[in-house]
């Protein structure tokens, strides 16, 4: 690995840094986007209690919103009690968009890594080929041409090795965010339906 980094120069080092950053994002998002973290069972089990609670205080809503993405949406449902249906829908949709934005954190960075890593590899290969042919012109000996080209291609291979899994992870997590957003929407509807059937909602 050290020899490959030395052969690829600073562009290879940049690609390696991209791989480290990409791996960190993948691990963090895999943890953050678990269904049990987005909609924790400890919170979903309190659906009936929250529906019967009536108006929640500001501190209770803040604590609920800080709990999880589902808590953020449910806090908007609780805060909009007593508002018109259109106002409720607008507030809940806004909370859902904020939650989806939070769940999409770092995905743009991961997508950028997937796009830029092969370009860095290609740039490294082009720069290496320029050096190889410059050395060939200066020495007139073609004996080291194959080895020089092989070293120049290392950065392209490294860039692709980083970009392919990063792109796959980006697509996967983008799909996860869409699924989790639908999950939050279903739980918001369930809370509102439960409210309508509870004594507190009727008052």
Q: What is the DSSP string of 149-163?
A: HHHHHHHHHHHHHHH
pLDDT digits (tens, 9 = 90+) for 112-126: 999 999 999 999 888
pLDDT in tens, 37-63: 999 999 998 888 888 776 677 888 888
| pTM to 2 decimal places | 0.82
23-44 pLDDT tens trace: 999 999 999 999 999 999 999 9
CA-based torsion, 67, 72, 73, 75: positive or negative:
positive
- pLDDT over threshold 80, residue 146: no
With contact defined as beta carbons under 8 Å apart, do 69 and 105 qualify?
no
> How distant is the alpha carbon of residue 85 from its chain centre?
32
Token digits of residue 155? 């950065």
| DSSP type of residue 39 | S
The conformational region for residue 9 under phi > 0 = left, psi -120 to 50 = alpha, else beta, is left
């Amino acid at each position: 690995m050290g020899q490959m980094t030395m052969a690829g120069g600073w562009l290879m080092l940049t690609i390696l840094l991209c791989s480290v950053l990409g791996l960190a994002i993948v691990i963090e998002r895999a943890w953050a986007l678990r269904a049990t973290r987005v909609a924790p069972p400890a919170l979903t089990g309190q659906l009936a209690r929250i529906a019967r609670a009536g108006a929640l205080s500001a501190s209770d809503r803040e604590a609920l919103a800080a709990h999880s993405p589902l808590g953020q949406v449910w806090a908007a449902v609780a805060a909009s009690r007593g508002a018109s249906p259109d106002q409720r829908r607008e507030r809940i949709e806004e909370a859902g968009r904020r939650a989806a934005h939070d769940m999409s954190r770092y995905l743009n960075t991961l997508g950028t890594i997937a796009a830029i890593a092969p370009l860095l590899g290609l740039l490294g290969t082009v720069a290496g080929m320029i050096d190889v042919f410059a050395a060939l012109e200066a020495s007139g000996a073609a004996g080291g041409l194959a080895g020089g080209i092989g070293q120049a291609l290392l950065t392209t291979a490294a860039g692709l090795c980083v970009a392919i899994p990063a792109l796959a992870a980006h697509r996967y997590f983008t799909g996860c965010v869409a699924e989790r957003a639908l999950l939050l929407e279903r739980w918001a509807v369930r809370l509102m339906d439960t409210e309508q059937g509870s004594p507190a909602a009727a008052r």
